[in-house]
Structure 1
């Protein structure tokens, strides 16, 4: 139902979403009598980057959803490509309503780190306060971190992780931990930059190994889902990453010879 609404719902533009790096707009879709919010990122509004090909970020957003769905990870909100939107072709992603207790990733004083969190790094604010960024080590956030390994996410900021649901709902079954803003993914060079380093050295679960094996095999069905969004080199790099992770058998540690935290990290 949600994918149907994204693909065919009548849209009304509500305005720009502030503080976004690229043109990002909020739309409301009308589908079968239900109003659904969605985030629209037109290809025409993408700023050129030195390390990602021009006009590919919306395609990477869609590839991220398709990979997450194919592997049954459920960490990327439903996302489609549409041509009939106000600024032309672009990605359209279901809006995630954050829950009131959304504390998957937190910034707190040193003596106020939540008991179920692991600290990642410390920082000092302009007014001299010492703070620590930490994150939960639960299965929901682990699934996002695992997805980012495969997708080679170059920009997993704290604000790109939301605990909530894609449709207004109070049912626990409809809620989860989602990774949004997945445009800087699938580069064929190592680019992983994330705040979710708390799972380093954790051995992969059986279902994670199965997912890695599926990507390493890259059957025609999976290739077909991704090939209209990613280049042949990027698909090959995705397979290589899966094979490397299989050989390692655990979440990698942060590399010491390159930047591994996105900026800004929040």
Structure 2
């Protein structure tokens, strides 16, 4: 019997789509990602001669949080994918809600990434040094981020020293900053950024999203207060239509988050369009997640 064909993000092979594979395929547990705070199972999934690797997060393995209803993180992960797809940016890997070996949970396509260091030390001249030219985060000496970088804030690097945490001035990250503002992401860490070998950027771990209260915590504050791009404003206008009562995105979100949370998404989109600017930290909530990477 020939080996199953691997299927990458967005690809359709014959009549099998990635979502078909994730939703209908047979899950086989291959291991567990133990660094995660909730249960994260590494699996393969096979369907009609196609195969891929995926991450399966069962609802039963979710750790209760004081500010989110129990057993809702998997649905929020799928909702984040739905909003990402509605933007047209494709920033979240294909994600579905399904039954698995440990009950219902979210199933998300595994993304192979570039090999790179997420952080690097500076050389004292304000320029970020990285071991890979495609690095998205860095630590630099001095007060200026250097060309091609945006400042986030000072970070304690030990021995009573601080360094400036910066992220790349990258249009992919800027789109992600807009998406995070829309879905109210409370946990955008550096380790959630997955640059793929084909040049695309994916983002993962969206369980702490869609709260009705302002929970935005992120490493992508470099554009805070700056005008949104024309592209972002056009996307927000499209989201307004997609979020209208009875519209496709609103209908899909209704099965995943509460009516109040969906209305809060609409309100955030309206506010972004009204101000025309990237949001700034509110001061009422820690602006940067911990640990940041």
**TM-score, length basis structure 1:** 0.89
Give the equivalent residue in structure 2 for 1:108: 139
The match for 1:246 is 273
In structure 1, runs of 5+ residues without a counterpart are 165-169
Q: Which stretches of structure 1, 4 residues or longer, exceed 6 Å deviation after superposition?
A: 111-114
Task: Work out whether residues 62 and 79 of structure 1, in 8 Å CA contact, stay in contact via their aligned partners in 2.
Answer: yes
The counterpart of 1:35, out of the listed 45, 48, 51, is: 51
SS in 1 for 2:81: helix
Report the equivalent of 1:236. 263
Alignment partner of 1:201 is 2:225: yes
For structure 2, the 5+ residue unaligned runs are 1-16, 119-133
Report the Cα distance in structure 2 between the residues aligned to 1:99 and 1:129, rounded to whole angstroms.
Answer: 30
- CA-CA distance at 1:113 after TM superposition: 6.3
The whole-number CA distance in structure 1 between the counterparts of 2:240 and 2:186 is 21
Q: Which has the higher contact order (CA 8 A, sep 6+)?
A: 1
Q: Does 1:68 align with 2:84?
A: yes
Contact 1:144 1:177 in 2 (8 A): no
Whether 1:256 and 2:283 are equivalent positions in the alignment is yes
User: For residues 125-136 of structure 1, what are the structure 2 equivalents within 5 Å?
Assistant: 125-126=157-158, 130-136=162-168
Q: 1:183 aligns with which of 207, 210, 213?
A: 207
Contact 2:21 2:50 in 1 (8 A): no
Partner residue, 1:216: 240
Q: Distance in 1 between matches of 2:39 and 2:163?
A: 31
How many correspondences in the alignment? 257
TM-score for the superposition, normalised by structure 2: 0.82
Instruction: Specify the alignment match of 2:106 in structure 1.
Output: 91
Q: What does 1:115-194 align with in structure 2 at a 5 Å threshold? A: 115-126=147-158, 130-164=162-196, 172=198, 175-194=199-218
Tell me what 1:167 maps to.
none
